[in-house]
Structure 1
Amino acid sequence: MLQKVKIVYETPLKKEYAYNPSANISKLMATFTRLDNLLKYALVFYTDIVGRLEKWDETTKIGDVIFKFSPFLKAYSEYTESYNEMVTIIKEEKTRDPVFSSILENGMKHNISKGLDFGAFLICPVQRIPRYVLLLSDLLKCTPEDHCDYQDLQKALKKIKEVADHIDAAIATAENREKLIEIQNLFSTPLSILPDRSLRAKVFVPGRRFLFEGNLIKQCRKERKERRFFLFTDVLWYAFETVPGTNSYVLSGEIDLLYLSVRDVEDNAIPQDKCCIEFLSSGKSFNAYASSQDVKMKWIQQINSAIEKIKQNQNTLNRAGVKEKEIAPVWQPDEQALKCPICKSEFNLIWRKHHCRTCGLIYCDTCAPRIHNSSDRICKVCK
């Protein structure tokens, strides 16, 4: 397959873009260099294996050949790390460059391609190592433990599994990077036109991985609004769409998972209150509503799993300075408060509503005075 890539795709592409290639094409050419290295290793490996098979008898060994070859398999890891980026580049260039698209179409029509497109060839090295693992596992099952090749096959399988694990990790890292880029692009609104209270969406943070996303109906102060939630390994984001249907978002909240907990709120008789999740944190607490019980439980499961892992890592690393913080109360929705629960005064344009920062309930100006010179208030009950 790798030899076919050189004939069908590498040669015409290098000829067409020999001078002043774009950044994307240059990256693609670097991939061909990696493929050339893989082909060299594969040919040496093939020659050694065939040499043993040609002199086959009951005492012939191939485990030592595979074990000797295993360090070179790390080249497959390097190739795999760039694979996802190459797939993205190919899609972009096919849309942008008619000449590039034509070369790929002609390659697929080539008699030795047998209808396979460029991507089908590029994925072959990614699939090779898992196939080696399966092959060696089957070979071990068919090899008696007292055979002279058994221990070498075991060592070879162990080494190749290590490479396979490294490749799996590289694939996961590459996929996570692509997803983070995708999310970053959702928050492309210029800072100059963002609302005053919006947060800057900084997606790329060391160690951060994407976990889960979806829409929930968040209980805001005056009404319920749809928000897009993004769960990462360290934080939970919620954002609003700038204009419906534009797929462009503004970050309105960020909660550190170390200080977050979620609670499954039991359904009551009111239909619109079903599938409620209570988000409790030191900075802000609120209720949000899922579209179904399944979605609700999925969110709770994902968040609790992420919280458990980050707290385990915190204990493992023995991080200093991380202390428990007080949980902010869930604010009572404005529409639920018609009068002050202490003085019974009815709320109106003059007699305004104020949330107590301790209990989250709504009181009047008199019954929930300001705390010193700040805008925060605490009701007389909580004082």
Structure 2
Amino acid sequence: YGEYVRNFEKAMELVKTWMDRSLQFKAIVEDIQKQEACGNLTLQHHMLEPIQRVPRYELLLKDYLKKLPQDSSDRKDTEKSLEIISTAATHSNAAIRIMEKMKILIDVYEMLGGEEEDIVNPSNELIKEGQILKLAARNSSSQERYLFLLNNMLLYCVPKFSLVGTRYTVRTKIGIEGMQVNETHNKDYPNTFQVSGKERILELQASSEQDKEEWIKALRNIIKDFNLKNETFGIVKEKEEQVSTAELGRRAPRWIRDNEVTLCMKCKEPFNALTRRRHHCRACGYVVCWKCSEYKATLAYDSNKLSKVCKDCYVIITGKTDSEEKEEKKRKGVMETEAAEVSENSVICDFLHYLEKATKPWHKVWGVLPKNDAMVLYLYGAPQDVKALTTIPLLGYAIDENPRGVDVPYAFKLTQSRFIYVFATEIGR
């Protein structure tokens, strides 16, 4: 019955459409309507009967009960009948609402390419959806994104090319538990707000002031309902910019943007493009230099991955002292020194083309000569690699600036006994 009621409007539209489009269909319907069994009523009228039946029974019984004398022998049966039919009416309405919610969830499931099966659940409900702009954590550049807000999660999605309708890929799934929503003020980007979850922090830009207010209201209502249902009665803090000490590593931080600081937020030394570049602590979100971010710790919010953190966060998360970390670094092999770390404190660093053997193709590598180890050439696969491919101790090597048999420009050769390395730079400096 609930399914019939839910599909009633669509069925009526289909009948009307085909009565207009098909003369043959129209003739068949009109012929049936002329039959005595139809009582000279239209097909649409008969289709409406089941919709009206249960509410009509309820109204008739209520009216009948009002007119019954208090001492009537019929009163007890009438009251019981009214209770049954009222329950049926309530159940049918509830069934209709559940089916409508499930239909919406199935539509969302299909838009996500069928990859989020836990969405189609009777306990879930889609609260709000819509396009939004995501502001990049580093430089405030914006990217088009799409949000699906359910009663227990926020799906942060990116548009996906498709020939069969609108499709999205879920980039991040943020749980409502522990979520916070704050309005932000950015003079270059109006109508912004921040969603802070355990899994990630998003700074978003709505299309208008009204759209922003609607998103903030919807999110805060869901957070409030979630907290009440879980008997936590937590209150969203309006002004909590950074992760508390107790939550370090358990909750994604808000990244301070590169253009918001000119000094390392730990050692206060000024940044520059060559020797002191900006890095982000993955635990607190501060912008720090390489010296202040040469630590690593596992972060619970990021599936316990080993991530770059500042010294203060390292001590809090791991419980180790700075001296213990330095002792561990002494035991670490030279090959495990990060490319970014040695590049920022180097005599020279740049891309090189490396020829292992004359019969093999050239390989592009990232070469570094560190200031504290200038007699060793470090070769990495890329500038941000955490481990070197190889190292070459340069002491005793001869340099040939015009090697024979090499037909590429800007080539040079390192030779020592039986060891030969051929390189080429990208420009002739």
Q: Distance in 1 between matches of 2:263 and 2:151?
A: 42
- Deviation of the 1:140 alpha carbon: 4.2
Aligned equivalent of 2:282, options 357, 362, 382: 357
Matched with 2:308 is 377
Matched with 1:157 is 82
Q: Distance in 2 between matches of 1:116 and 1:344?
A: 84
Matched with 1:167 is 92
- Deviation of the 1:164 alpha carbon: 1.1
Q: Distance in 1 between matches of 2:151 and 2:120?
A: 12
1:143-292 map, 5 Å: 145=70, 149-188=74-113, 200-202=115-117, 203-205=119-121, 207-221=123-137, 222=139, 223-243=141-161, 247-263=166-182, 265=183, 268=185, 270=187, 272-274=189-191, 276-292=192-208
Matched with 1:129 is 54
Q: Distance in 2 between matches of 1:270 and 1:212?
A: 27
User: Contact 1:93/1:101 (CA < 8 Å) preserved in 2?
Assistant: no
User: Contact 1:80/1:167 (CA < 8 Å) preserved in 2?
Assistant: yes
Q: Distance in 1 between matches of 2:307 and 2:227?
A: 31
Matched with 1:16 is none
In structure 2, relative to structure 1, the CA distance for the partners of 1:291 and 1:165 (3 Å cut) is: same
Matched with 1:80 is 2
Greater per-residue helix proportion: 1
Greater per-residue strand proportion: 2
SS of residue matched to 1:377: strand
Which has the higher relative contact order, 1 or 2, with Cα contacts under 8 A spaced 6 or more apart? 1
Unaligned 5+ runs, structure 2: 233-245, 299-304, 315-429
User: Contact 2:201/2:254 (CA < 8 Å) preserved in 1?
Assistant: yes
TM-score by length of 2: 0.53
1:326-345 map, 5 Å: 326-337=250-261, 340-341=264-265, 342-345=267-270
Percent of paired sites with the same residue: 25
Q: Distance in 2 between matches of 1:238 and 1:294?
A: 20
User: Contact 1:235/1:257 (CA < 8 Å) preserved in 2?
Assistant: yes
Q: Whose radius of gyration is greater, 1 or 2?
A: 2
Unaligned 5+ runs, structure 1: 1-78, 190-199, 317-323
Q: Distance in 2 between matches of 1:314 and 1:104?
A: 55
